[in-house]
Amino acid sequence: MTLKKTTAGVILLSIMITAAACSSEPKQAATSPTPATAATAAPQATPTAESQDALNLKGYIAARISQEKIDFLFAEAKSKDGKLILNPVAADSKEKAVKFLSSYFDAALADKVATHYLTDQKADGAIITNTAPFFPGNLLNTQKQDITFDAANTKDQVAFTTKDGVTYTTKKVNDKFVLADAVKK
């Protein structure tokens, strides 16, 4: 409750300061800056393209998040008798599961993942999920230093290989990376 009051107070204070700043007339500078003061002003940063290292990290993080979402959707909810079932967020349908996964996976891979985990069996009115992993390795057990990024990575595709020999490929869809493939070599 205190956090809500504090947040509301900060927002209200911000609005009041903004309104006061907008309503006052702009003051004209009496003189233009001298060359000495102009030279001491901080240089303006120009927008630059993201480095490939930053893009590689985004691709790696996207792949890790996609595997977390698999656990959330297929390995978190349990029936009364302890069987893993499809998380109710997917409303007990493959279509909703694929739609959910499509935010983290390439569309074709999202469908393959859902098909792998969803079974024909039900418990407590929910679909029982397959406990066998879809991917050949668990990226969540790795750290950034355990992987090697592909030298051919681009701004739209990032591939990396874990020390266990699993190669993950992420690609940019709607300006964010999603997992497109994972294979063990």
Instruction: Return the sign of the alpha-carbon dihedral for residues 87, 89, 91, 95.
Output: negative
The answer, as to whether pTM is greater than 0.85, is no
Query: What does the pLDDT read at residue 29?
Result: 45
pLDDT digits (tens, 9 = 90+) for 7-60: 444 454 445 444 444 444 444 444 444 444 444 444 444 445 789 999 999 999
> Residue 100 above 80 pLDDT?
yes
pLDDT digits (tens, 9 = 90+) for 122-144: 998 899 999 999 999 889 999 88
Query: What does the pLDDT read at residue 77?
Result: 93
Starting at the edge strand that comes first in sequence, how are the strands of the sheet with 166-173 ordered?
A: 147-149, 157-162, 166-173, 176-184
Give the bridge partners for 169, in sequence order: 159, 181
Query: From residue 12, how far is each of 3, 19, 23, 63, 183 by CA, in Å?
Result: 14, 11, 16, 39, 52
Of all residues in the chain, the percent with pLDDT exceeding 90 is 64
Query: What does the pLDDT read at residue 169?
Result: 97
Residue type, 48: T
Query: What does the pLDDT read at residue 11?
Result: 53
8 Å CB contact between 62 and 177 = yes
Give, in words, the CATH class of 52-184.
alpha beta
Of all residues in the chain, the percent with pLDDT exceeding 70 is 74
> Residue 176 above 60 pLDDT?
yes
> Residue 113 above 90 pLDDT?
yes
pLDDT digits (tens, 9 = 90+) for 54-77: 999 999 999 999 999 999 999 999
The structure tokens 């739609």 sit at: 99
pLDDT digits (tens, 9 = 90+) for 145-164: 999 999 999 999 999 999 99
Q: What is the domain partition of the chain in residue ranges?
A: 52-184
Query: What does the pLDDT read at residue 36?
Result: 47
